[in-house]
Amino acid sequence: MKELAKFAFVVIFAAAGAGPAAAQEQAAPVMPGFQPDPAPIQVAAPVSPVAKAQGAAKSIAGSDWDFLLSASADTDEDVLEMLLEGLEDWVAGNPQEEGAASVQFLKARLRSRLDDHKTALTDLLRLFYEYPGSADEAAAQKLFRETVEKEADKKLKPALLALAVPAAPGNTAARLASMLERASAEAGEFLYAPLLKEYRDFFRRFPDHAGGDVLRMALADLHLKNKEYLAARVAYDRLIAVYPGSAVQPRAKLSLAGVLADNLKEYDRAIAVYLDIVDSYPGISEAWSAYLRLPQLAEKRDKFQLAVETYERIILLYPEKPEAFTSYQAAARVLREDLKKPADAIAALGRLADKYKDARGVDALLLAAEIYRKDLKDPAGEVKTYDRLAAEHPADPQAPRALLTAGEVWEKAKDYDKARVYYETVKEKYPEDMHAKKAQKRLDGLLAR
């Protein structure tokens, strides 16, 4: 009997939601084998001449409203859920009709009774922004504050209470868009599920809203904040496709690339998006952010030439940023280790030393000398690098060591005359340095030959 009672309730509510005329004209269907009690007498809801003139036949008024209030007092949760479904449908179809604000408030009250507090809060926010100054405002604000105090943590409470401040002037779409953006940014994790429904309702009602691109960005960010990465990817893709000229395109593409790379592991597509950003939006902050991610991803996917080219572009476009220095180093590393181009690696290190006349340049020259020695087996190239180091950085602690090592290279090559010149130079230019004593020992060894 309980299920049959629910069936009868739905039929009655459908008539009520359709308006007073439909409530009189539509007879409830009878289920097979069920003999309903005698139907109550339907009393037509009073409709004023003004309301009739405005086509307000859909408005909930009179006996329809009495029915809704009476039904909302039911203690059966299933009945209340069905009532909520009807209220949702009515508000969705008649958002600007007479009584819509009261229906919205009733929705929130029923949600609270069903312990669906997050949806109740979102319903109340919708009321504040769509119907500012309604007759239910004071009671709705009271319910909002009580629910926040009961359900939100200490950190979130101020943000939620700030959201309930009456909306700024503007049309309905602008006010609701403001509510969605603010709620997503300030309480998006807490109100995630009910906010998604509000977004769907908004886009259905206002498909041509002027700020649709910004709102879709807020929705995509909301998915990302809640770690719904696939939903975020789809939302960013949709924004990029639907609003090609939007000012939020660079940020949307950057966020999309981040989701692809960090969360969905779609590295090749992430690389493609980063490349699109640096090519399409040179000079802006999003391009710089893309440059920071692109070469590492390229290396991860064994796209070593792309990685080197990107490092070189960073050096060219952002020569004064700290990352330019690390790009020189990274380019040399990839050239040497991955592309097996030691000579090109040495050239990159040489350009690094040209730019940075400090310890960074010294280290670059020492590494270049190592590549000459280990990779190219080129003693002359190695010594030439030591010569440059000593000439350009004579006061650096590495200078006497470089000269001593150059002498050892020639000694190993059995060119003792050249070796002797370097050892003598160390003694003369750096007599107090520890390498001077080593140079003297090497000279003593040469004399003993």
* 181: pLDDT strictly greater than 80: yes
pTM, rounded to two decimals: 0.80
Q: What is the mean pLDDT of the chain?
A: 87
Q: Give CA–CA dist 433/400, Å, rounded.
A: 8
Q: Which two structure tokens, joined as six digits, stand for 244?
A: 């090609």
So what's the pLDDT on residue 75? 76
> What average pLDDT does the segment 384-391 reach?
98
Dihedral sign of CA atoms 146, 151, 156, 159 in order: negative
pLDDT digits (tens, 9 = 90+) for 55-100: 333 455 456 667 777 777 777 888 888 888 888 888 888 888 878 9
3-state secondary structure the chain: CHHHHHHHHHHHHHHHHHCHHHHHHCCCCCCCCCCCCCCCCCCCCCCCHHHHHCCHHHCCCHHHHHHHHHHCCCCCHHHHHHHHHHHHHHHHHCCCCCCHHHHHHHHHHHHHHCCCHHHHHHHHHHHHHHCCCCCCHHHHHHHHHHHHHHHCCCCCHHHHHHHCCCCCCCCHHHHHHHHHHHHHHHHCCCCHHHHHHHHHHHHHHCCCCCCHHHHHHHHHHHHHHCCCHHHHHHHHHHHHHHCCCCCCHHHHHHHHHHHHHHHCCCHHHHHHHHHHHHHHCCCCHHHHHHHHHHHHHHHHCCCHHHHHHHHHHHHHHCCCCHHHHHHHHHHHHHHHHCCCCHHHHHHHHHHHHHHCCCHHHHHHHHHHHHHHHHCCCCHHHHHHHHHHHHHHCCCCCHHHHHHHHHHHHHHHCCCHHHHHHHHHHHHHHCCCCHHHHHHHHHHHHHHCC
Q: Which two structure tokens, joined as six digits, stand for 94?
A: 């008649």
So what's the pLDDT on residue 432? 93
pLDDT category, 421, cuts 50, 70, 90?
Answer: very high
Instruction: List the domains of the chain with CATH numbers.
Output: 211-290 (1.25.40.10)
pLDDT category, 391, cuts 50, 70, 90?
Answer: very high
| CA atoms within 13 A of residue 40's CA, in its CB half-sphere | 9
Task: Give me the percent of the chain exceeding a pLDDT of 70.
Answer: 84
Q: Give CA–CA dist 72/66, Å, rounded.
A: 10
Hunting for tokens 């009690």 — which residue is that?
37
Q: Give CA–CA dist 305/312, Å, rounded.
A: 11
pLDDT category, 167, cuts 50, 70, 90?
Answer: low
Of 62-71, 119-128, 297-306, least confident by mean pLDDT is: 62-71
113: burial class by Cβ within 10 Å (0-12, 13-18, 19+)? middle
Q: What angle do CA 176, 179, 183 make, to 5 degrees?
A: 150
Q: Give CA–CA dist 174/121, Å, rounded.
A: 20
* 1: pLDDT strictly greater than 60: no
So what's the pLDDT on residue 32? 37
Q: Give CA–CA dist 192/39, Å, rounded.
A: 43
Of the candidates 309, 242, 326, 230, the one whose C-alpha atom is nearest the C-alpha of residue 271 is 309
* 386: pLDDT strictly greater than 80: yes
Of the candidates 326, 321, 346, the one whose C-alpha atom is nearest the C-alpha of residue 336 is 346
So what's the pLDDT on residue 62? 56
Q: Are 168 and 175 in contact (CB under 8 A)?
A: yes
> What average pLDDT does the segment 124-144 reach?
95
CB count within 10 Å of CB 13 equals: 23
pLDDT digits (tens, 9 = 90+) for 2-36: 443 343 344 334 444 443 333 333 333 333 333 33
**Amino acid residing at 234:** V
Dihedral sign of CA atoms 123, 138, 68, 7 in order: positive
So what's the pLDDT on residue 162? 96
